[in-house]
């Protein structure tokens, strides 16, 4: 399994916890996160959880739709930070 795939799986797990929705295992990587039940409070929780689990810091200027629009965009953000684990 590629590192990117592992990261996507971790993001899916985090999203399931944040939204209390367990149906992320089959969600398309490009599905809009705002259509999954992720609200503004959930977005904040998602960011903090990602920071904690990937041991990175997400700067305020990185919290833009391009980085948190979908599972794929979050994965790309993590790849850019060399946080793929």
- Residue 6 predicted with pLDDT over 80: yes
**Mean pLDDT to the nearest integer, 59-74:** 94
Greater model confidence, 82 or 57: 57
The pLDDT of residue 37 is: 78
Predicted TM-score (pTM) of the model is 0.86
End-to-end CA distance of the chain: 12
All residues at 6 or more sequence positions from 3 whose CB lies less than 8 Å from its CB, including other chains: 84, 85
CA distances from 2 to 5, 9, 29, 30, 68 (A): 5, 11, 15, 18, 21
Return d(Cα 85, Cα 29) in angstroms, integer.
18
The pLDDT of residue 66 is: 93
The pLDDT of residue 68 is: 94
The pLDDT of residue 33 is: 87
CB of 15 closer than 8 Å to CB of 24:
yes
What is the per-residue pLDDT across 13-27, written as a single tens digit (0 to 9) for each?
A: 999 888 887 677 778
What the chain holds in terms of domains, given with CATH numbers, is 3-80 (1.10.1200.10)
């Amino acid at each position: 399994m590629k590192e990117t795939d592992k990261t996507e799986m971790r993001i899916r797990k985090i999203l399931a916890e944040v939204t209390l929705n367990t149906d992320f295992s089959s969600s398309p990587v490009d599905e809009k996160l705002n259509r999954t039940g992720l609200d503004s409070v959930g977005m904040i929780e998602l960011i903090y959880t990602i920071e904690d689990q990937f041991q990175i810091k997400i700067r305020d200027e990185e919290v833009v739709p391009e980085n948190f629009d979908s599972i794929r965009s979050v994965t790309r953000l993590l790849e850019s930070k060399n946080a793929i684990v």
